[in-house]
């Protein structure tokens, strides 16, 4: 006979489908300094319910970019990153409604790609391996991969109750099939599937200087659909290939408010500035792999 505690646990996993509400799962990547943290905070402020707080897990000093935007710091609780094991403890605290962890609506991980790089060094240090004396071996990458996957699965236990925003650096590498140099998030190949299957949107943020008016200013663009040389993914309707952050933010808000219906990803396309890029374009998938960068 099934115990009452088991039955109670099973009941806790069920909810009426017509009462289920979508929560955003988003991976944002780009070069340092393009405004990823500010963009993530803007979206978080827009989609987080008024009675909920925002948890900002900081692997470095990313929060300083919000200093010029005091409105983005309201109801945001910053948590310093100490190690991968911290995330599993965080998930348990949230699931148990522990005091101080029971009112978060959105969690931002800035930058999640940095957490994997830091853990690689932990693995190498424990195995007495350094870049000056030797290269990481397969077993070291295996340890890293298993622990990162375990961490991601722990975090995804919150995907039905919290908006999850992952920030990453970008990395350019050659696609082994198409031979095209492709820009994407800087993660390991082995965790590509876990991330791909469990986020609604993967976007690249860029910032270019526009001096046409005589006053230099940054012009930022979000790429939400895959093209010949850029990794992206969107299961959300209403987004062009390239959009200003303000448009992206509004679409995300409206998507959340409408209940979050999903659409099929459009095919990979070729933008005008990609025409001269050599390679077998037809063989490219809509989402290429991650890898750990050395920077």
Confidence grade of residue 215 (pLDDT, cut at 50, 70, 90): confident
- Phi–psi pair at 224, nearest 5 degrees: -110, -5
Mean pLDDT of 108-120: 72
What is the model's pLDDT at position 81?
Answer: 84
Those residues whose C-beta lies under 8 Å from the C-beta of residue 20, and which sit 6 or more positions away, are 160
Mean pLDDT of 131-154: 68
Q: Which of 113, 137, 270 is nearest to 195 (CA)?
A: 113
Separation CA 181–CA 227 (nearest Å): 12
Total number of domains in the chain: 1
Residue 89 belongs to some domain of the structure: yes
User: Does the pLDDT value for residue 124 go beyond 90?
Assistant: no
User: Does the pLDDT value for residue 171 go beyond 90?
Assistant: no
| DSSP characters over the chain | ---HHHHHHHHHT---GGG-----EEEEE--TTSSHHHHHHHHHHHHS-TT-EEEEEESSSGGGGGTT-GGGSTTEEEEE---THHHHHHHHHHHTT-TTSSSEEEEEEETHHHHHHHHHHHHHHHTT--TTT-PPPHHHHHHHHHHHHHHHHHHGGGTTTSEEEEEE-EEEEE-TTT--EEEEE---GGGHHHHHHH-SEEEEEEEEEE-TTSS-EEEEEEE-S-BSSB--EE-STT--SEE-HHHHHHHHHHHHHHT----PPPPPB--GGGTT--S-GGG--SS--------
Residue 14 belongs to some domain of the structure: no
Separation CA 233–CA 72 (nearest Å): 26
What is the per-residue pLDDT across 146-158, written as a single tens digit (0 to 9) for each? Answer: 777 788 888 889 9
Surface-to-core class of residue 194, CB atoms within 10 Å of its CB (0-12 exposed, 13-18 middle, 19+ buried): middle
User: Highest mean pLDDT: which of 41-55, 136-150, 165-179?
Assistant: 41-55
Residue 291 belongs to some domain of the structure: no
User: Does the pLDDT value for residue 184 go beyond 80?
Assistant: yes
The boundaries of the domain holding residue 96 are: 21-281
Among the residue ranges 44-53, 114-123, 206-215, 235-244, the one predicted with the least confidence is 114-123
Higher-scoring residue by pLDDT: 65, 160: 160
Higher-scoring residue by pLDDT: 97, 211: 97
Q: Are 111 and 175 in contact (CB under 8 A)?
A: no
Higher-scoring residue by pLDDT: 95, 270: 95
What is the per-residue pLDDT across 19-76, written as a single tens digit (0 to 9) for each? Answer: 557 899 999 999 988 999 999 999 999 999 999 999 999 887 666 667 788 899 999 9
What is the model's pLDDT at position 209?
Answer: 79
Residue 12 belongs to some domain of the structure: no
96: domain CATH number is: 3.40.50
What is the per-residue pLDDT across 224-252, written as a single tens digit (0 to 9) for each? Answer: 998 889 989 988 888 889 999 999 999 99
Q: Are 244 and 223 in contact (CB under 8 A)?
A: no
What is the model's pLDDT at position 96?
Answer: 93
Q: Are 110 and 40 in contact (CB under 8 A)?
A: yes
| DSSP characters over 141-166 | HHHHHHHHHHHHHHHGGGTTTSEEEE
Residue 11 belongs to some domain of the structure: no
Question: Please, what is the average pLDDT of the chain?
Answer: 80
Cβ neighbours, 10 Å, residue 209: 8
- Predicted TM-score (pTM) of this structure: 0.81
User: Does the pLDDT value for residue 203 go beyond 90?
Assistant: yes
């Amino acid at each position: 006979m099934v115990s009452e505690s088991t039955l109670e646990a099973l009941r806790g996993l069920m909810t009426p489908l017509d009462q289920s509400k979508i929560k955003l799962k988003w991976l944002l990547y780009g070069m340092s300094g393009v405004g990823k943290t500010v963009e993530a905070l803007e979206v978080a402020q827009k989609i987080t319910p008024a009675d909920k707080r925002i948890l900002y897990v900081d692997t470095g000093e990313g929060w300083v970019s919000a200093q010029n935007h005091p409105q983005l710091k309201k109801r945001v609780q910053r948590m310093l990153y100490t190690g991968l094991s911290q995330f599993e403890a965080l998930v348990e605290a949230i699931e148990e409604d522990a005091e101080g962890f029971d009112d978060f609506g959105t969690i931002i991980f800035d930058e999640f790609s940095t957490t994997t790089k830091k853990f690689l060094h932990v693995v190498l240090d424990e195995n007495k391996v350094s870049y000056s004396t030797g290269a990481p071996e397969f077993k070291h990458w295996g340890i890293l991969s298993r622990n990162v996957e375990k961490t991601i699965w722990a975090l995804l236990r919150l995907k039905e109750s919290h908006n999850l925003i992952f920030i990453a650096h970008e990395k350019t590498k050659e696609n082994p099939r198409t031979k095209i140099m492709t820009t994407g998030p800087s993660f390991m190949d082995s965790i590509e599937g876990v991330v791909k299957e469990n986020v609604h949107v993967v976007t690249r943020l860029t910032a270019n200087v526009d001096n046409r008016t005589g006053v230099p200013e940054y012009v930022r663009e979000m790429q939400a659909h895959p093209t010949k040389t850029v990794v992206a993914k969107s299961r959300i309707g209403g987004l062009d290939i390239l959009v200003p952050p303000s448009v992206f933010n509004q679409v995300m808000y409206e998507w959340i408010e409408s209940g979050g219906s999903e659409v099929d990803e459009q095919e990979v396309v070729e933008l005008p500035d990609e025409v001269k890029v050599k390679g077998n374009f037809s063989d490219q998938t809509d989402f290429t792999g991650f890898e750990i960068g050395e920077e």
